[in-house]
Structure 1
């Protein structure tokens, strides 16, 4: 992961929209600007990225070489939290900022517990949606939809036809903001965005949220965040108290607080559970 070279991957073409989504034109890819989803993909060991994304990722890794471990832990948090919600009766999941699909996606984790669970994926990047439609096959009774929308406009998400196909907001929903709010700047009012989503939810709904933080080492964290400066979205790392504030109106799941290692159901431990230096927090709250 530490070497960068121009290869045939730079000529790699995503599936045409008409091949995977009954559309008529291929999606055009701008490979001149690093993209957050493709940077994440590279940091997780994926191949859906380009030289410009790898260069940005290597800049980040120079400051935070153990960041990929945190990203893998974040995937573990996603899977555990989804199963936690499904075990408690949640059958609807609204996953905003899904990113390029990798192993252990929301619908896969949910269907381990509840095969009839329904999932609405939302991302503002059409490339991500092409990947999702091409790769996220599902043979279970639950339904999965994909919507192109931006978290900065939560009302558009709440009224999107594809979302409303599978989500009934009069019933409990798990809203997932996993590793996405740190790409919303302070001036874009992230707290107001979360509050808008919260106010649309029925009692018993859950907020599943994780967020990057430089609390482990502020200097290194900010140096790493600078790697996103010229990407499709900049990163704003936030401290414990600021991340905790996003759960306003929700009752945090025991054990209380937000923490890097989240496992209230005492699922079998993973090697990641012993990692000490984690660049972020995760938690789950229930709306009463």
Structure 2
């Protein structure tokens, strides 16, 4: 990896800040307060597994239930592309409040009855849909934070989603004022100007297994654009943060907010299963 790409890793630190530190005038993207992430796993023992049939059933449920559920602000689904587990299937839902997370399940049940009024047919449909997945799954809840880059238009094809999971270091000599200033400076100089990044969504841990976790999702047109994104970041890094003593001090300041440990994941975002 190029030295400048290593510097980009540090620049990403500008984007990290616990959700609880934001002031009231820094609203979450589009009024979204929480994002739930469910990691399911394909049922590898299903003998009659046909992806086309699953996709048809999933799309039917999505259109009849998820799209009509007013408590779900946004929803999306992702296939494994390059991760440590090829059985992974990710479902993401966005909510305006904690209360709505508690309400959407009941509303789903109501919409299911409306969509499939015959109980036997409804149970058969849902059982078939569930049969594509193994029993185990995991859930995390994140809080979207400012700094997102939204799609300029609704995509008509699947996209590559590059996910980066970093971890906060919580330095004793850190301040929220310093962190906010550095974060917004880096976001404006790099993320918002990179034409290869079609969308970008930063999130911090809200409820789950690791309070240090910070999750960033970059949406790209293709796998080849991943390298283009990094190359463009190199250029923007040099333009926005030339090599001088002031920027060296900034680099040192923002690095202290991280452990230096991160994970990288590539998923395929399913465009026609997105709300």
Fold match (TM-score > 0.5): no
State the TM-score, normalized to the length of structure 2. Answer: 0.25
State the TM-score, normalized to the length of structure 1. Answer: 0.24
The structure showing larger relative contact order (alpha-carbon pairs under 8 Å, at least 6 residues apart) is 2
